Chain A
Amino acid sequence: MTLISYRQALHDTLRSEMHRDDRVFLIGEEIGLFEGSYKITAGLLAEFGPRRVRDTPIAEEGFTGAAIGAAMLGLRPVVEIMTINFSLLALDQIVNHAAKIYGMFGGQARVPMVIRTPGGGGQQLGATHSQNIELYYAFVPGMKVVAPSTPADAKALMLAAVRDDDPVLVLENLALYNTKGEVPDEDLPADIGTAAVTREGADITVVAYSRMAAVALRAAEELAATDGIDVEVVDLRSLRPLDRETVIASVRKTNCAVVLEDDWLTYGIGAEVAASISDGAFDWLDAPVRRVAMAEVPLPYSKPLETAALPSTDDAITAIRQTLDAVARRR
């Protein structure tokens, strides 16, 4: 185990996969000479050259589609889309092509590609650069969408994504890039489609992914210290496929749940999780499933407005306390 940042874990994994397999190459805007907007690809152009690290013009639809076509011929492209907001320019290629080609042609063509892209607000980047629209991709059968919340998962899920024969969108997060954690030295690809219980607890289930999975752990530690509340945290890790079983098993144990998400509440990932809990654990529930999500506004630039709109650790703590209060009243 080595203590490294989420950014470093992504960088090191891409580098080692490129050494392992010549078919793996990187493609995207500013990933070579500029070394990546968020420096995930720093040093890789110098090490591997322009054949393996291909800088592109600003043409998300063009280069994402080109990566799909290259994957159809057997290469294993890793596309960087600078932020998930810009993936909208490539929506047709991702949704109508990457996600469809295997099924639409009766299983004759595989698309072994990775799309890496960070989501996340809180950087005062304004409405168009702060969105969490992973739902758009998690909605689509044929896509796989994973969302690491720790450096260890950044490595494990990226390994799995690069070695998978389907299009996998790896949702990174701006606020997580500098976070540090222990990462195994050996290559252990994650099982896509599985959630993880990242903290065991008896009193309440908190379901989250990406940045909010880290927020969930912080809230859990704080509540353990201040209120003696024993929170169980389920990190979804995979948004498609969605591991409902792990969520349901936890809720059947704790009898209540809060979902934390950085996206908008209405129609969001949390809505799917809450509906699934209702399907699978209705009779176990002692309180309605509570969702903590971003305010439903285009995210403003000015700091107090931005902060107010984004879900925080305090919001999570309040929601957990209120849910447990509701449980106590019922019992």
Chain B
Amino acid sequence: MPSPAGAPTRGGAPATGPDPVLDDEPALRLYRQMVLIRRFEERAARAYTEAKVGGYCHLNLGEEATVVALMAALDRTDYLFTNYREHGYAIARGIDPGRVMAELYGRTDGVSRGWGGSMHLFDVESRLMGGYGIVGGQIPLATGAALAIDYRDDDQVVMCLMGDGATNIGAFHESLNLAALWNLPIVYVVVNNGRGMGTSVEQASAEPELFRRASSYRMPSSRVDGNDPEAVYEAAIEAIGTARSGQPCLLETVSGRLKGHSVVDPAKYRDRAETEALMAADPVAAFAARLRERGVLGDALSAEIDSEVTTVVEAAAAFAEASPLPDVATLFDHTYATPVRNDSRRLPGQPLFPIGASMGAPA
């Protein structure tokens, strides 16, 4: 895989430039998905402020180009492991946005039946093998999934997503080493959005060109402008092909995080110039401008997409709102897959043994 000559800029990237990678129709499909994810995440943020969504809520705002292009490059039968910033990936993977929103709402129709929440989306059918809340926890798991594919001599590929911060943990390095030693069919994708919570890549990583870390394991790697869906798509197709041939590889996408780490983070650690640069590089606006320049997107179509997407997102929120909350009687349904004797089903206020059971000893 080629390494780029220069690092793409995180802010102020040009809206136009390269020759079209995608034909009009697939390009528009990606654009529509980008808008859908943008509106979905904005709707999720609103639901969070309305206390419909609990816990943590991390949004893909600013990463839409990366999200849709990576998912477009992956086959239906390939496997995906992600971190906790994964709503967009679930949607781009084809999961009904209503089921994703219902999971955020903690409802029974949620993709994880209300057990996972925002950080832990899972769907067998689309082979989304989980969003994981512990930074980097998914990296060994994804590596093992690739091991299983290799063990069965199958031809699927695993894509393992992570943020920039995850490249500093031990599990990242252990996993890359294993994958390289065993020639596993896996693509590690570092979605570099510039910051792990408030800590910049430069503050956290002695080698801030994160894709270069793969060279420690003689693993091919490259970096691509994550604000450019066509560039990401092209790079992902190449990386996936490399992995399918039994050569693990790493792809770094560089984009921005338009909001804070999570919905509740006002991102005060960023100065105004940085924020303005991020807004200027907004991948949704940039791709719209590129498609307009190509004559693919006009005012009418743009309005049609906005309207259609708004309908989908509002329907998703309505579906989530209408979906039942889980019955408390199901609390003990998912502790063990294989039923086991003496599995505790005690609620907090209940005694271990029935009240009075200790009474009645012989005098």
Contacts and interface: CB of A to CB of B under 8 A. Distances in A.
Interface string B12-51: 0000000000000000000000000000000000000000
B59 interface: no
A115 interface: no
Given A105-B122, A108-B112, A283-B361, A65 B337 contact: no
A72 B174 contact: no
B178 A59 contact: yes
B260 interface: no
Interface residues of A, number: 63
Nearest to A163: B338
B303 interface: no
Interface in B323-359: 333-338, 340-344, 351-353, 357-359
A108 B124 contact: yes
A106 B175 CA distance: 27
Interface string B148-169: 1101000000000000000000
Q: Give the interface size bracket for B toward A.
A: 35 or more
Interface string A53-86: 0001101011111111111111101000000000
B144 A69 contact: yes
Contact of A279 (B110, B146, B358): B358
B85 to A, nearest CB: 17
A59 B174 contact: yes
A70 B140 contact: no
A38 interface: no
A165 interface: yes
A275 to B, nearest CB: 8
Q: Which of A59, A67, A108, A142 has the most CB of B within 10 A?
A: A108
A280 B151 CA distance: 49
A12 interface: no
Central interface residue in A106, A112, A255, A283, by most chain B CB within 10 Å: A106
B145 interface: yes
A61 B142 contact: no
Contact of A109 (B113, B130, B170, B361): B130
B178 A62 contact: yes
A255 B362 CA distance: 10
A105 B148 contact: no
Contacts of B333: 107
Contacts of A309: none
Given A70-B148, A74-B148, A107-B333, A166 B338 contact: yes
A56 B352 contact: no
A67 B144 contact: yes
Given A72-B144, A244-B352, A57 B358 contact: no
Contacts of A65: 137, 139-141, 143-144, 171, 175
B87 interface: no
B120 interface: yes
B116 interface: yes
Contacts of A112: 337
Contact of B341 (A51, A68, A110, A194): A194
A164 B144 CA distance: 19
A179 interface: no
B341 A279 contact: no
A104 B353 contact: no
B56 interface: no
A103 interface: yes
Contacts of B337: 102, 107, 110-112, 165-166
B341 A106 contact: no
B129 interface: yes
B55 interface: no
B120 A105 contact: yes
Nearest to A281: B358
A68 B141 contact: yes
A102 B113 CA distance: 12
A61 B113 contact: no
Nearest to A277: B358
Interface string A121-159: 000000000000000000001101000000000000000
B310 interface: no
A70 B175 contact: no
Complex A-B, nearest 5 residue pairs according to Cβ-Cβ distance, in ascending order: A65-B140, A69-B144, A62-B174, A106-B113, A66-B144
Interface of A: 25, 51, 56-57, 59, 61-75, 77, 92-93, 96-97, 101-112, 141-142, 144, 164-166, 191-194, 238, 241-245, 248, 252, 255, 276, 279-284
9 contacts: A63-B140, A63-B174, A75-B151, A102-B335, A103-B335, A104-B122, A107-B334, A244-B342, A283-B358
